[in-house]
Each structure stands twice: as structure tokens, then as C-alpha cells.
Amino acid sequence: MSNKRWYMMTASILCGIGLIHAGCSGASDKEIAKAEAAYQKKDFNQALALSESVLQKEPTSLPAHRLKVLASIGEGELEGAFNDYEQVEKKYPNMAPALLKEISIGMIKNALANENYFVRSAAVKAIGEMGDPSQIPLITVGLKDPAPFVRFFTVEALGQLGGPEALKLLLAVGKDPDGMVRVAVVKSLDDMAASKSGVPAGVDMNNILSTFAGDSDPTVKLFALAAMTRLGDPKAFSQMMEMIPQLQGPARSAGAAALGRTKKREAAPLLAKMLADSDATLRMYAAESMGDAVAPENFDPLAKAIADSDPAVRGAAATSLGKLGDPKAIPLLEKALNDPDPIVRVSAAEGLQRLGKNEIPVYEAALKENDYAIRHFTVGSLRKVGGKQAMPLLTKALTDDAQRVRIAVVRAIGEIGGPEAIPILKESLKDPDSSVRTYAAGNVSRLLNKTEGKKGI
């Protein structure tokens, strides 16, 4: 809903029921219009002054409260903004969700202009997680950001949002000078192709992806071929199988990851060979991909890998054993719950969760570890397999000392939660860290969108 329509609707309703006692069509109404215009021009100080002027005469003016909240957000005065929002929430609960959504989008807009690239990255990712394609115009600026990470996450967000406009923008950025960004373009196109609503009717995605199969960067090429394989191109898979054994250095790990994205059983023998390699990083990627390219013949190699000397390999093997869905893995995973490495223990718990076991106590213990990287990993695992039963743990983790953990928690709650999670995430809009606030804004909007969808709005 546009700002103008929002104002007209609320003003009309409140005038009609007598909540605005004076000036519905007079001086105060003109001041509100001026405040709205000032806000649109980003003259937040003027918008704030005009809305406060109206409130001195009409304390119950919802349009004035709204503009005061939004102008305060624009000025970075979060405490004052939320004090006013809470007044609106108490007096006009039916109007509060629309205002909360405006607050959230306003916060994201501010983050998009932040001098810190990490905050800008958070803003574009938050828009992607909102799941609302109408917000695509907000993030087009991210495609030209000087920081490759911002461009990378903007591309990811477009893949999440999907649709004709996203496709057009992804194709325009397909020649980005940074290989990492081009890989993101290919993965986003792949994800859109896998989604029923992601690609416009009549678009030949295989033909589009084939243009990336000639890229000079082997990782871009591999992921393009993997995407084409998923779309049913047998020649693309054959080309991958010829190319991967010839790779050297870090590109070998990219080859393992690309094989996983094909989800083809025929990838199993080559992945098993990688799992016996002396390079631990390659073994880890191969173990991960064996869970994606689900095949019964992957069981024995993964059963061996869960005892690997490298904890990263053991953890990846544990997760993948759960993905295979074979109950024979349960004793192996239960044994791994006693692994000396906490990340392996969490990975084993994730595998068991996938096999129908409740291992929430393992997660609870891991969230008390001193190393924030372990806590961050634990939240990511809960996001994947914890479901609603993970909500109490995640809610508690919103007070974690580490910013990155709180970010992960906000994103997990936004994905797992429903309307009941909106009040929980609303508190994170006040977090001392701007990146946490930005992710919270995106996920509050995401949950509001879910709620509106269920109501048929």
C-alpha cells in the first residue's frame, strides 16, 4: 500500500469515527500533508516538527503518529520512534501491522545507504528474505555497489524473489567482473528454474544458462553445467564428468560442490573417489555433496567418513547420512553425539533430527559453548531441522553477545515462525547493532506478509 493511500485510509476512518476531533479537512490536515511531503523528500527533521505540531493539538491523530514514527526512524531516533509506535499499537491495534511494515521497510532503506558494506549486504539480503517481489526496485542499486559482497548478496536476493524483473536484472549483471558474483547469478538462475513460480512462462532457462557454460572461471562454468543438468541436459553432465578430474587446487572443491547441485545418482562414484583424497577440504565438500546427490551407494563411504581424522569431514558426513534417510545411520550418528568436536556433535544431531529423532538437548548444550562460531553453526542447523520446537531456544539466543549469532537467530525465526513470532522479532528492531536491526526488519516484514497471505489480504 502506498504512503498516500495509507494516509487517506486512516485519516478517513478516524475522522469518520470521531477519533480525530478537529482539522480533518482543515489546518491540521494541511500540516499532515506537508509533513508527508517533507518525509518523502527525506527532510525528516521538518516532518518530525510538523507531526509533533499536529499532535500537540490532536494527540489522537494517527496520521501524525505515523509520520512521527517514520521521521524518527529516518533520523535514527529509534527509542522515540518505538515509543510512538507503541502508542499506536495500543490505541489502534488494527492499524499497527501496516505501520510496523512501514517502519521495517524504512529501516532497510536507511541500511541500503549505510557506509558499511556489511550493513548494506544485510539490507539486500533482508529484502530477499521478505519474499515480496514488489520490493525489487529497492535493491537495484546493490547491483552497482563497489563492494563485491553487496553485489553478490543482491544477486542472491533477486534469486529468492524471482519473477520477470528479477530475471531481467540477473541477466544484466551476468558479466560482472567478479567471478563470485557471476557464480551467484548462475545459482540464482538455477534456483529460479527449480521453483515453479520463479521463471516467467516461455523462458528457455537452459539456453540462458548455456551462455555461462563458456565462462573463463571454472567455478562459474561448473555451476552453469550443474544447473543445465538439473534441467535435463545430459551433455552438460557428461561435460562435468570429463572436466572435474582435470581440475587443480581449489577448483576441485568447486567441482565437488557442483556435483552435489546436480542431485544425480550418477555422481556418486566420483564423489566417493574425492572422499578418499588426501585434501581434507575436498573430502568435506564431497561428503556434503553426497547428501545432496542422494544415492544408496553413498552410505558406506559416508559411514567411513564419519570417523575421518578431520572434524569438518566428520561433521559433513554426519549431516549427509541424515539426508540419505537410511535408519542404518542412527547408531553411527548416536555415537558421533560423543565426538570431541562440538560442531560434529551438532551435525550428528541434525542427521538424527532428519531421521525422526529429537536431539534438541544437544542444540541447547551447543548454544552454551564459549566459541561464537559454534553457536552460530548451531543456530544455522536449528534453522534447517529444528522446526517449531526450536523456537524457545532461538528466542533465548536473541540475547547472545555475538552479533553474528543474533543475525542467524533473527533469520531462523523469520523462516520458522508464524504470526506468534512477530512480537519476538519486533524487539530485535531495537538491537544495538544495525545489521541485526536490518535483518529483523526484513523478517518482521516477511512474517507480516505471511499473516496477510493467510488472511487473504
Residue 309 corresponds to which amino acid? S
Over residues 276-301, the pLDDT tens digits come to 999 999 999 999 999 998 889 999 99
Q: What pLDDT, on a 0 to 100 scale, did the predictor assign at position 455?
A: 57
Task: State the first-to-last Cα distance of the chain, in angstroms, to the nearest integer.
Answer: 11
Half-sphere exposure of 369 (CA within 13 A, CB side): 22
Q: What pLDDT, on a 0 to 100 scale, did the predictor assign at position 251?
A: 95
DSSP state at residue 276: T
User: All domains of the chain, ordered by start, with CATH?
Assistant: 3-94 (1.25.40), 358-457 (1.25.10.10)
Over residues 401-430, the pLDDT tens digits come to 999 999 999 999 999 999 999 999 999 999
Q: What pLDDT, on a 0 to 100 scale, did the predictor assign at position 11?
A: 47
The torsion angles phi and psi of 136, rounded to 5 degrees, stand at -55, -40
Which has the closest alpha carbon to 251: 223, 231, 209, 232?
223
Show Cβ contacts of residue 276 under 8 Å, excluding neighbours closer than 6 positions: 283, 301
Q: What pLDDT, on a 0 to 100 scale, did the predictor assign at position 79?
A: 84
Q: What pLDDT, on a 0 to 100 scale, did the predictor assign at position 280?
A: 98
Q: What pLDDT, on a 0 to 100 scale, did the predictor assign at position 181?
A: 97
> If DSSP codes are grouped into helix, strand and coil, which group holds residue 99?
helix
Q: Which own/partner contact pairs does 201-207 have at CB distance under 8 Å and 24+ positions apart?
A: 203/167, 205/231, 206/231, 206/232, 206/233
DSSP 162-182: -SHHHHHHHHHTTT-S-HHHH
Low-confidence ranges of the chain (pLDDT < 50): 1, 4-25, 456-457
> If DSSP codes are grouped into helix, strand and coil, which group holds residue 59?
coil
The Cα 292–Cα 257 span in angstroms is 9
Q: What pLDDT, on a 0 to 100 scale, did the predictor assign at position 453?
A: 60
The Cα 327–Cα 325 span in angstroms is 6
